[in-house]
């Protein structure tokens, strides 16, 4: 899939978590977003705070397109948004601004993402931990999964 400029915010610490704007890549299915050496998988049941989670850490993230008015943060959130240096010109075209205001943005450089590492993590076996009627599993993100069989 083609790279696209997106807004990403870490929601593990509420509306004040770190946030980024920059080019992201998608998996073939579109269910995983790759950026800055992170892989964010779409939640099966997204909530009002998060719609993706980090495959390595389990932290929850909000991923969306950038807003044309530049107001990407939640109304109760705050903090500078880190913007990838290579995406600044495309971002400015999207939002019709003339410059990036350093009062609201911090210019950073995203690192390259190793997709093979995340393929290995995602394809590890699910660990079976319980033999009861309500089987309990831990997925590769050490998230407890309970299946009613």
Query: What is the per-residue pLDDT across 118-147, written as a single tens digit (0 to 9) for each?
Result: 777 776 665 555 555 444 444 545 454 444
Neighbours of 33 (CB within 10 A): 23
Query: What is the per-residue pLDDT across 3-29, written as a single tens digit (0 to 9) for each?
Result: 899 999 999 888 889 999 999 999 888
Residue 110 clears pLDDT 70, i.e. is over it: yes
Contact 110, 36 (CB under 8 A): yes
Residue 69 clears pLDDT 60, i.e. is over it: yes
Looking at residue 130, its pLDDT comes to: 52
First CA to last CA distance, the chain: 37
Query: What is the per-residue pLDDT across 28-67, written as a single tens digit (0 to 9) for each?
Result: 888 899 999 999 988 887 777 888 988 888 888 999 999 9
Return the closest-CA partner of residue 76 out of 32, 136, 124, 14. Answer: 14
Q: Model's pTM, two decimal places?
A: 0.79
Enumerate the domain spans of the chain: 4-113
CA of residue 133 relative to chain centroid, distance: 35
In 3-state terms, what secondary structure has residue 115?
Answer: helix
pLDDT band at 81 (very low <50, low <70, confident <90, very high): very high
The pLDDT mean for the chain works out to: 81
In 3-state terms, what secondary structure has residue 27?
Answer: coil
């Amino acid at each position: 899939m083609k790279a696209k400029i997106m807004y990403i915010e870490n929601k593990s610490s509420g509306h004040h978590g770190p946030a980024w704007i920059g080019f992201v890549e998608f998996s073939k299915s579109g269910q995983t977003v790759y950026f800055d050496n992170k892989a964010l998988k779409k939640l099966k049941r997204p909530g009002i705070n998060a719609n993706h989670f980090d495959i390595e850490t389990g932290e929850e993230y909000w991923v969306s397109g950038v807003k044309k008015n530049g107001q990407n943060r939640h109304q109760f959130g705050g903090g500078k948004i880190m913007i990838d240096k290579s995406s600044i010109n495309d971002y400015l075209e999207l939002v019709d601004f003339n410059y990036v205001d350093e009062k609201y943005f911090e210019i950073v450089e995203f690192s390259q993402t190793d997709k093979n590492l995340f393929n290995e993590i995602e394809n590890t076996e699910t660990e079976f931990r319980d033999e009861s009627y309500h089987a309990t599993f831990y997925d590769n993100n050490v998230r407890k999964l309970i299946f009613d069989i």
